[in-house]
Each structure stands twice: as structure tokens, then as C-alpha cells.
């Protein structure tokens, strides 16, 4: 493809967001020699409101709306998001043109001593604002006490230490991308804590009809990541689509091209967790996600979702 003068990527300004945008930029430059790729940092509502737990802020697109506004207005050519931050309803006029290769999708328990979940002291304090993480960890360890903790990766680790918390919970993908490793990090088994929908996948969002940019970013798309993203996001969409729904999902493509999809919905207190597991072809990812969402609702997931503030009208759309 002939080189193009310049493209501008819209991104948040955290160290992780910049790492992700630069990672995408480097791959575009390698694929399209001579392409001038630049970053535009955009502050979102989720970045501005840092002292309130995310479920209390409400609304969708807390970390994406302002970037999408800039994309629609033509101020940037495309946007790079952590897929787990992107609502299932992509705004009119925009689309996800590429799903980049997935990093480790698991959550991780971060402690000063490198303790596993089972090794935390009775009644230990864990810092996380995520209803999904709190509910699943409560199910495994009902004795734990949870403290709302907001901020980027480095901020949450610092706050954990300053506040004397036993642990915090972060995404392995972010830790790996920032090069944060060591004995203090213990990946959580998805059987205990299923990750957020799309965790570890980067989404490249473009304007509809922009063939120039869509053609450039097509090289970034990973077929396995796309199938997993579609399956997981379809489950979430069938359950109402909110990023703060206390549910997790993980799709994995096997060597034979088969897709394994696990999904769970929890009550806020973790007293009840409904789990399903589905298997099918990767090229039928949407249908597999729809089946999983229906199975969760058939087993009573709607009651748990309603108790967490979901709208009755949003359920059963899968």
C-alpha cells in the first residue's frame, strides 16, 4: 500500500493507554513504511472523576466518549481503547475496525508479599472498585473486606501500600504491558475470577466509510481476538450491556479452531454465582454468545442483574 502522509490516534493519557497507543503506532509504521503516526491525548470523564467508585458515576463510555467525539469530529483518525472499557453499543457512525492480538486476559492479585488468594489473612482488606471482582472474590473468600480503589495501575499499587491494604486486583494485561512483574503478582484462575469482557484486547475504532484508515489498520486485526471479543461482548449485550454489570466472560480459541466460552453472573454480595460454559466454532462466535446469555438468564441471572441496578427492559435481548 502506498504510504500515507499522517494519521492521528486518539488515546487517553495514562501510562498504560500511551503504551497501548504507541504499540499500535509502532506496528502501523512497520506495516506501512513512511507513515507518520501521531498521538492526540484526550481526557475522558473517567479520568477526571477519580475519587468516586465507577459504579456510582453511572452511564456508559466513561473512558471512551470524549475520544469518540473527537473521532466523529475528525480531530483524530482513529482511536485505541482497552476493549473492556468500550460499551457493547458502538455509537452510530463508528465501528471497531480491528481487534489486536490478545494479552493475558486474567486478573491478578497484587500483594506486597506475593500471597495467593487462599493465603490472605482472615478479614484482609482488598482494594478494588469493580463489582465483578468484588462479587467473585467474595464467593471464594466471604471474609474479605473490600475498599474502593480508583486510578491507573501505578496509582492503585501505590494506594494499596499507603493505605495498608493486603492486596489489590489488576489486569495481567496491563501489568505485562507496563513491565510490572515480580513475586507480588499472582494470576487469578478464571474458575475463581472470570475477567472482564474483552480484557487484554485492544480495539481500534474508526469512522464508518473511512476506507483510507480502515485499510491501514486492517493489518492489526487478529482473527482469534476478534472471535473471542464477539463472543464475550455478545454475552454482555444480551445481559444489558453495562460495563458495571457484575459478570465476567472468557472465550478461548483452541488449536482446532473451536471456541470455548465461559461466562458468569454474580449477585453483588457474591452469595450466588451463575456459571455457563459453551463450545462451538470460532466462526459462529456471535451465536455462541447469544446461547450463553440465554442460558444465564434461564438460570436466573436476571434476578442478580436487577439487584445490581440493571433495567428490566435491557434483559433477554440475546
Confirm whether 56 is domain-assigned.
Answer: yes
114 and 169 fall within a common domain = yes
215 and 244 fall within a common domain = no
212 and 87 fall within a common domain = yes
Which H, E and C letters describe 164-197, residue by residue? CCCEEEEEHHHHHHCCCCCCCEEECCCCCCCCCC
20 and 39 fall within a common domain = yes
- Cβ contact 7:35 at 8 Å: yes
Confirm whether 36 is domain-assigned.
Answer: yes
Smallest CA-to-CA distance from 53 within 41, 62, 64, 44 is with 62
Task: Dihedral sign for Cα 176, 82, 30, 10, please.
Answer: negative
Cα of 253 vs its chain's centroid, Å: 18
Confirm whether 62 is domain-assigned.
Answer: yes
137 and 259 fall within a common domain = no
Cα of 200 vs its chain's centroid, Å: 7
**pLDDT tens track, the chain, 318 positions:** 444 479 999 999 999 999 999 999 999 999 999 999 999 999 998 776 655 555 555 555 788 999 999 999 999 999 999 999 999 999 999 999 999 999 999 999 999 899 999 999 999 999 999 999 999 999 999 999 999 998 999 999 999 999 999 999 999 999 999 999 777 999 999 999 999 999 999 999 999 999 999 999 999 999 999 999 999 999 999 998 665 678 999 999 998 889 999 999 999 889 999 999 999 999 999 999 999 999 999 999 988 787 666 555 555 544
**Number of domains present in the structure of the chain:** 3
Cell numbers given for 129: 472498585
Confirm whether 196 is domain-assigned.
Answer: no
Confirm whether 195 is domain-assigned.
Answer: no
Q: What is the CATH number of the domain that holds 86?
A: 3.40.190.10
Domain range for residue 27? 6-101+201-221
C-alpha 172/C-alpha 244 separation (Å) is 19
183 and 206 fall within a common domain = no
160 and 206 fall within a common domain = no
Residues 224-280 have pLDDT tens digits of 999 999 999 999 999 986 656 789 999 999 988 899 999 999 998 899 999 999 999
| DSSP H stretches of helix in 170-309 | 172-177, 211-217, 223-238, 285-298, 301-307
Please count the CA atoms within 13 angstroms of the CA of 211 that sit on its side-chain side.
1
85 part of the active site:
yes
C-alpha 122/C-alpha 83 separation (Å) is 35
Cell numbers given for 198: 474483552
Task: Write down the catalytic residue from 47, 77, 85, 224.
Answer: 85
C-alpha 237/C-alpha 264 separation (Å) is 14
Amino acid at each position: 500500500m502506498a504510504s500515507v502522509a499522517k494519521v492521528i490516534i486518539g488515546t487517553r493519557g495514562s501510562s498504560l493507554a500511551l503504551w497501548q497507543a504507541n504499540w499500535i503506532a509502532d506496528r502501523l509504521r512497520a506495516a506501512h513504511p513512511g507513515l507518520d503516526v501521531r498521538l492526540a491525548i484526550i481526557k475522558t470523564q473517567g479520568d477526571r472523576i477519580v475519587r468516586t467508585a465507577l459504579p456510582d458515576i453511572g452511564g456508559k463510555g466513561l473512558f471512551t466518549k470524549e475520544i469518540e467525539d473527537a473521532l466523529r469530529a475528525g480531530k483524530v483518525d482513529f482511536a485505541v481503547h482497552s476493549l473492556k472499557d468500550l460499551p457493547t453499543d458502538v455509537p452510530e457512525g463508528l465501528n471497531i475496525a480491528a481487534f489486536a492480538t490478545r494479552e493475558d486476559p486474567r486478573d491478578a492479585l497484587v500483594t506486597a508479599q506475593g500471597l495467593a488468594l487462599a493465603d490472605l489473612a482472615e478479614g484482609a482488606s482488598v482494594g478494588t472498585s469493580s463489582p465483578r471482582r468484588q462479587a467473585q472474590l467474595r464467593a471464594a473468600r466471604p471474609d474479605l473486606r473490600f475498599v474502593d480503589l480508583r486510578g491507573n495501575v501505578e496509582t492503585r499499587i501505590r494506594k494499596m501500600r499507603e493505605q495498608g491494604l493486603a492486596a489489590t486486583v489488576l489486569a495481567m494485561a496491563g501489568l505485562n504491558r507496563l513491565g510490572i512483574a515480580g513475586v507480588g503478582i499472582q494470576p487469578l484462575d478464571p474458575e475463581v475470577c472470570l475477567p472482564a469482557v474483552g480484557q487484554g484486547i485492544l480495539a481500534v475504532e474508526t469512522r464508518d466509510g473511512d476506507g483510507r484508515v480502515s485499510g491501514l489498520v486492517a493489518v492489526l486485526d487478529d482473527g482469534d481476538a476478534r472471535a473471542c471479543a464477539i463472543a464475550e461482548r455478545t454475552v454482555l449485550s444480551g445481559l444489558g450491556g453495562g460495563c458495571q454489570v457484575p459478570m465476567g466472560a472468557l472465550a478461548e480459541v483452541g488449536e482446532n479452531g473451536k471456541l470455548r466460552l465461559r461466562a458468569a453472573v454474580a449477585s453483588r454480595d457474591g452469595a450466588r454465582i451463575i456459571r455457563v460454559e459453551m463450545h462451538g466454532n470460532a466462526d459462529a462466535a456471535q451465536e455462541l454468545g447469544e446461547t450463553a446469555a440465554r442460558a444465564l438468564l434461564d438460570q436466573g441471572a436476571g434476578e442478580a442483574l436487577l439487584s445490581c441496578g440493571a433495567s428490566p427492559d435491557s434483559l433477554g435481548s440475546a
